[in-house]
Structure 1
Amino acid sequence: MATSVLLKLLAMGLIVALGWGAARLRWLGPGDVARTLSNAAFYLFVPALLFRTASRMDFSAMPWSALAVFFVPTWAMMLAVVVWNQRRVAHASPAAPGVRAMTACFGNSVQLGIPVAAAVLGEAGLAIHLTIVSLHALTLLTLMTAQVELALARDRARQGLADGHLGRLLRDTARATVIHPVVLPIIAGLLVNASGIGVPSLIDELLVQLGQAVVPLCLVLLGVSLNQYGFVFTGRGMAALVMVKLMVMPAVVLVVGHWVFGLEALPLTVVVMAAALPSGSNPLLFAQRYQVLEAETTSAITVSTLVFVLTAPFWLAVVAWVVGA
């Protein structure tokens, strides 16, 4: 890969190491520091970023075929991971399958994806990648929030803690999904976007400042979580999540993109490389939010990011071979 991408990976690793060291030396204070940072990200910084992104999207300029090639297989893969975990794996929490689906399918499209696209694919490739970024968190977080909230509602109904009637179950799930620190700012941003009234300059600057903190905060959180939960290799479970993210997802997107939608050259390379990105930090926020699989998620993010150095050149070569064949 290009030197700039390797430098980006190294810088990210150093920030994670700083978070680990700060937690190790107790610079961040006693108690559950990881959850405190996660709450700050989930309730303050991420909502600001999502609201601003949703309010500024230009739907008329979207490359819809490339977006369909990326998102339809990604959505299908997430639901497949959820169903597999629900049927084959015993979990302490009904939220666990959704957290695993996020880990296996939610890529690091900003911190790593943007520099990869800029360094390897150029300005035209970056433009396509940015359209994926604009919908990435909005759609995937919303989909999995709805899935997890429905699973939790069903579990409460089974325990007799809530009304099990289907209509009320769906109503409660919809309420919990919408009134959520991730989904609510997305809906609000889309409403502002549709209204055409725009965001006042002062508010927009506030959102910019809050949004800029998301990347470093999440990387520090990853380091803190590594210290707090330790590096846990859970055997086939964690390895499967990494394999799905780095190998299965880009393979499925490549097949759908080239042989179903007929994408060629640059658009195909962009969507495959977006699918091949390692797990992002949002799955850890998700795990923290629902207090399940924090150690496994942290470890899977770390491993997939390290292995990406090897798998990224592989997928670039594969796409070049497919396009040239």
Structure 2
Amino acid sequence: MAVLFSIVLPIFALIGVGWLARYFGWMGPAGAYEMNRFVVYLGMPALLFQIMAKASWSQLDQPGFIGAFGLGSGLIYAATVAVRRGRGGALADASLEGLNAAYANVGFIGFPLCLAAFGPSSMTPVTITSILTVCVLFGIAVTVVELGVSEGGGGWKIARKVGLSLLKNPMLLAPLLGALYADFGPPLPEGPNRFLTLLASAASPCALVALGLFIGELRSRPPLPALSAQVALKLIGQPALTWALAHWVFALPPTMTAIAVVLAALPTGTGPFMLANMYQREASGSAGSILASTILSIITISVLVTWFRTVG
């Protein structure tokens, strides 16, 4: 419990600092927008490039773990999008809701939590989930949002616009370049690696403070029924589905199953919030999902870690 409080509460405190800064007027109405642009165009691309450029493909070759976590998050995302579209929602907004329900906060919480709970050997599977979340799932969500905002044109026109937009999207271009560098480039020199580390380290706190600034601007309550469903899917549905896949389909060892389930149970990360702002969509639902799931995850993650340690 002490580890969880030392990890989760500082994250929530950064959101609170942003809210206080907007509430007391220390930062103006444009603060959230400008900080979010820094995260989207500088901080997060540096993080994604660094993750992919330093990845060892032999260590990441764990198809069972990839299948359990990847299918768990992908099915939750797809089901949420399908339900929202079935109710008449816009495709772009449906993609954001799916991301709210499936985007685990691996970068902020997953690494320190698993290091404390499962030891250094857990860092490789955590890296796998980070790649699956911030590169694969996020990339799919961006593609669907692009398709949504391009609705109304012909097939070729939409495909051309989506393709060009994706090629210019720094959060998709950066991991692609990182993967190419990992295959064909030398190990990152100390100077460039340090530069990327400094820039990437700023992404997480800036994104959380920007979220707090945005919340300080809210004048209406988020849609509570939709929000409660997204939070329930994130904190209960995704880990339950991941456990079923890990245990019954891929027959993972107990420790790998525990890591996959705990990572699946992480609260919603800031990715959906950044994406909503980037495409100027309604972001109050994403903000509410991040806040609610972060607070409630203190309880759910405590239960899961305690249970896996007991049975393990």
| TM-score normalised by structure 2 residue count | 0.93
Give, as a single letter, the amino acid of the residue that structure 2 aligns with 1:277: L
CA distance in 2, matches of 1:210, 1:151: 31
| Paired residues of 2:104 and 2:264 also in contact (CA < 8 A) | yes
- Aligned partners of 1:171, 1:234: CA distance in 2, in Å? 34
Report the counterpart of residue 72 of structure 1 in structure 2.
71
Is 1:234 equivalent to 2:234 in the alignment? no
Structure 1 counterpart of 2:105, from 100, 105, 108: 108
Q: Aligned ranges for residues 145-184 of structure 1 at < 5 Å?
A: 145-153=142-150, 155-157=151-153, 164=154, 166-184=155-173
Partners of 1:71 and 1:178 in 2: CA distance: 24
Report the Cα distance in structure 1 between the residues aligned to 2:194 and 2:152, rounded to whole angstroms. Answer: 41
Cα pair 1:85 1:97 within 8 Å, conserved:
yes
Counterpart-to-counterpart distance in 1, 2:241 and 2:229: 16
What is the CA–CA distance in structure 1 between the aligned matches of 2:88 and 2:51, rounded to whole Å? 36
- Please report how far the alpha carbon of residue 271 of structure 1 lies from its aligned counterpart in structure 2 after TM superposition: 0.2
**Letter of the 1:100 counterpart:** E
Q: Distance in 1 between matches of 2:297 and 2:219?
A: 21
CA offsets, 1:135-164, max 9 Å, x none? 4211111111111112222x141xxxxxx0
Aligned residue pairs: how many? Answer: 311
Gap runs ≥5 in structure 2 = none
The whole-number CA distance in structure 2 between the counterparts of 1:173 and 1:134 is: 22
* Change in CA separation of 1:171 and 1:197 when aligned onto 2, cut-off 3 Å: farther
Q: Does 1:310 align with 2:307?
A: no
The alpha carbon displacement at 1:241 in A equals 0.6
> How far has the Cα of 1:89 moved from its partner?
4.2
**Aligned equivalent of 2:259:** 270
Q: Is the 8 A contact 1:249 1:275 kept in 2?
A: yes
Residue pair 1:34, 1:228 contacting (<8 A) in 2 also: no
Structure 2 distance, partners of 1:45, 1:250, is: 29
**CA 1:231–1:317: 2 relative to 1, 3 Å:** farther
Q: Whole-Å Cα distance in 2 between the matches of residues 319 and 152 of structure 1?
A: 43
1:192 to 170, 181, 191: 181
Work out whether 1:14 is the aligned partner of 2:33: no
Q: Helix, strand or coil for the counterpart of 2:84?
A: helix
Pairwise CA distance, 1:308: 0.5
Counterparts of 1:103 and 1:96, CA distance in 2: 11
On the 8 A contact 2:92/2:145 being kept in 1, the answer is: yes
Cα deviation for residue 212 of structure 1 reads 0.7
Gaps of 5+ in 1: 158-163
Note closer, same or farther for the CA distance 1:198–1:115 as it changes in structure 2 (3 Å cut): closer
CA spacing shift, 1:230–1:259, aligned 2, 3 Å: farther
Contact in 1 for aligned 2:8/2:109 (Cα 8 Å)? yes
Q: TM-score, normalised on structure 1?
A: 0.89
Structure 2 counterpart of 1:243: 232
Among the aligned pairs, what percent are the same residue?
Answer: 24
Root-mean-square deviation over aligned CA pairs: 2.0
